[in-house]
A = this chain, B = another copy of it.
Amino acid sequence: MPLSPEQQAEIDAQRATPRQTLRAVSDGMERHLYRALPVLDHGFVRVIDYMGDDAAIVQAARVSYGAGTKHVSNDEGLIRYLMRHWHSTPFEMCEIKLHVKLPVFVARQWIRHRTANVNEYSARYSILDREFYIPAPDALAAQSTVNNQGRGAVLQGEEAERVLAMLKSDAAQMYDHYEAMLSDEGQQGLARELARMNLPMNIYTQWYWKTDLHNLFHFLRLRADEHAQYEIRVYADAIAAAVADWVPLAWKAFSDYRVGGVTLSAAAVDCLKRRLAGEVVTQANSGMSAREWREFEGEWG
């Protein structure tokens, strides 16, 4: 359970008191506000605030005085045009603020996205909670034998049990020692900024994270991708679900042009055109390296 009863009560209180505003409102997103979307065993994603909606993208692209166009169909056509031609600035006019609880090793990947605002819970100032990510059995995967940077089959039997037992007992022991070092009973008590160094990287941290829709799409394209590590992908998937409700037209365009899209090299374009003209193209006459050809065949057969 990622939330304590007190935390849930605070969230309920925030959802209980709607107020009036003249700003753009996304009804789809209002339903998500403050609620915790559970991710992994103790993590979550909560939408804390948002700015703008689909019409705001159109309004900015047109530098207009009023709100969007008169017709949704026009808005959709323009949004798809902007996405198709990489006109990114209108998408930057929407903003989202999230509260995320996540393991440290996931946070270390996530923070590489620099165009964002972040406030992280400080382990110099406060004591971290005793919460660690322990993979579910079907997420406990072996090293991939073909990809240095990925995972393969799920671990089985005794090996899986050994690993899970190790992760659990190590986390428990490290946290016990963390508390023992911090304690000021009968001793001085180690500084929090030092004691934290003994904690393993599957401990949970939390942050407020704020970014614009263009940069969020970039994050989702890389992190909701099959090449991303599973433990960050599930966060990206949770965010994606909220975004689809927030800006449905932009989300649809993003899905068509980025998620489901494919980027071809000049050589790949050439090979496809030759195939369409009836030619039999093999790696030997493709102009691609063996590795590029393998990736090309993976997509096009």
A residues contacting B by CB (< 8 A) are: 3, 6-7, 10-11, 13-15, 17-25, 30, 33-34, 48-52, 56, 59-61, 63, 65-67, 77, 80-81, 84-86, 89-90, 92-93, 95, 97, 99, 103-105, 107-108, 111-112, 114-115, 117-122, 124-125, 133, 135, 140-144, 148-153, 155-156, 159, 163, 166-167, 170-171, 173-174, 177, 180-182, 184, 187-194, 196-202, 206-208, 210, 212, 222, 227, 229, 255-257, 259-269, 272-273, 275-276, 289, 291-292, 295, 300-301
Copies in the complex: 4
For this complex, 15 residue pairs linking A to B, each with C-beta atoms less than 8 Å apart, are A21-B30, A95-B210, A108-B111, A114-B115, A124-B229, A141-B190, A142-B188, A142-B191, A166-B177, A171-B198, A197-B200, A199-B201, A210-B212, A263-B264, A272-B272
B residues near A89, Cβ cutoff 8 Å = 112, 117-119
From B51, B140, B262, B276, give the contact of A50 (CB < 8 A): B51
A206 and B63 contact, Cβ closer than 8 Å, known pairs A52-B49, A133-B197, A187-B159: yes
Q: Which of B24, B97, B99, B149 contacts A125 (CB 8 A)?
A: B149
CB atoms of A105 and B269 under 8 A apart: no
Minimum C-beta distance from A26 to chain B (A):
9
Q: Specify which chain B residues have a CB less than 8 angstroms from the CB of A111 in the assembled complex.
A: 108, 111-112
What are the residues of chain B within 8 A of A52 when measuring CB–CB?
49, 97
Q: Once the chains are docked, how many angstroms separate the CA of A181 from the CA of B33? A: 40
* In the bound complex, CA of A19 to CA of B264 (Å): 40
CB distance from A233 to the nearest CB of B (A): 12
Chain B residues in 8 Å Cβ range of A51: 49-51, 95, 97
Which residues of the partner chain B approach A212 to less than 8 Å between Cβ atoms? Answer: 117, 210
Evaluate contact between B265 and A263: CB separation under 8 angstroms: no
In the complex formed, the residue of B with least CB distance to A213 is B117
Tell me the dominant secondary structure on chain A's binding face: mixed
Q: Is the CB of B163 within 8 A of A170?
A: no
> Is B265 a contact partner of A191 (Cβ separation < 8 A)?
no
Closest to A263 in B: B263
Q: Which residues of B have CB within 8 Å of A140?
A: 190, 194
A145 to B: closest C-beta gap in Å:
9
Compute how far the CA of A119 lies from the CA of B24 in the bound complex, rounded to whole angstroms.
18
